[in-house]
Amino acid sequence: MKMTFRWYGESDPVRLAYIRQIPGMTGIVSAIYDVPVGEVWPLDKLRALRARIAEAGLEFEVVESVPVHEDIKLGKPTRDALIANFAQNIRHCAAVGVKVICYNFMPVFDWTRTELAKELPDGSHTLAFDAQAVARIDPGQGIALPGWDASYQPEELKKILDDYQAVDEEALWANLAYFLNAIIPVAEEVGIRMAIHPDDPPRPIFGLPRIVKNRADLNRLVHLVDSPANGLTLCSGSLGADPGNDIPALIREFGGMGRIHFTHLRNVKCEPDGSFFESTHQSRDGSLDMAEIIKACHDVGFAGYVRPDHGRMIWGETGKPGYGLYDRALGAAYLNGLWEAVDKFAR
């Protein structure tokens, strides 16, 4: 597997030079962040990003993410032009050597948390989701949660939420199928593999449909367009927030099909009411058996890209919650160590 690290560009306080020093690190996962959603990423910006990453001695082969405009998810008449722009972004990414594009089809909200700095007993801080707090929120009265996409003004958000009143899960599936039928042939043509990210958390929230939550959803997704270019980002932390999801079994099934192109590996500690917080990567601290997850990856011969997903904020580090250097570096080292042990004793 190829170990990679998320980097948010020159504004990211984590320096590329520091990322390069993490043992086993091969590449950077990044994107173009200053172009509005739905527009085409200029090729010169992608070339400059690739050059900056290469200068640091790292590869740029994974984009996360090319955002999907809400009009595409809603199935509005404007979607064809927006899908054409998305297809052009696939071509531009391929032109600079990108092999995998991660994206998601979550309505309105990307990952959702109620706390960005939950203090753990050891004094570290982490991302957390309080199911009871979310259940008390009335979307019609406004939503104020940390970490969500604040690009919408209150009236804009209300309009989008109103639009989704007419979109149930089946309608969202139909809109995803329409999108994939348009872009997967482009991905096949230029050698890109598309990797959808599961819903985070993997359940409906605020009355919005969620369709990438579990084994049945993943199976339906890969058969919407039966192509190796139509694949998954297997995020252990997102799917693992539902104890009913057997992550090693999912890896063995979909990895065995060759449909896992990217993995996000992190651990979560789940509570009976659906709440969870993001623990260290170690199995003993969370609800997921990371050693078994790595073994499943090894068993199916996974040779794709992996990144240590969110980490705690430790050792006084400040910056973007979940995306500090130190704990993600520890996570990468831990995952590499598990892989080395599994590989050695499998011989």
Q: Write out pLDDT tens, residues 63-97.
A: 999 999 999 999 999 999 999 999 999 999 999 99
Separation CA 57–CA 279 (nearest Å): 30
Q: Which residues are catalytic?
A: 197, 235, 264, 309-310, 323
pLDDT of residue 97: 98
Residue 42 has pLDDT above 80, yes or no: yes
Separation CA 174–CA 73 (nearest Å): 9
Question: CB-based burial of residue 205 (10 Å sphere; 0-12 exposed, 13-18 middle, 19+ buried)?
Answer: buried
pLDDT of residue 68: 98
pLDDT of residue 346: 85
Which tens digit of pLDDT belongs to each residue from 129-178? 999 999 888 776 666 676 555 566 777 788 888 999 999 999 999 999 99
Residue 284 has pLDDT above 90, yes or no: yes
pLDDT of residue 144: 65
Residue 181 has pLDDT above 60, yes or no: yes
pLDDT of residue 71: 97
Region 96-110: mean pLDDT is 95
Confidence of residue 207 (pLDDT cuts 50, 70, 90): confident
Region 7-29: mean pLDDT is 97
Region 30-40: mean pLDDT is 97
Query: With respect to CATH, is domain 2-345 assigned 3.20.20.150?
Result: yes
Which tens digit of pLDDT belongs to each residue from 302-331? 999 999 999 999 999 999 999 999 999 999
**Domain edges within the chain:** 2-345
Confidence of residue 109 (pLDDT cuts 50, 70, 90): confident
pLDDT of residue 151: 60
CA distances from 105 to 9, 17, 213, 236 (A): 24, 33, 11, 17
Residue 223 has pLDDT above 70, yes or no: yes
Among 290, 197, 288, smallest CA distance to 241 is for: 288
Strand residues in 9-53 grouped as ranges (E): 25-30
Among 281, 262, 255, smallest CA distance to 336 is for: 281
What percent of the chain stands above pLDDT 90? 89
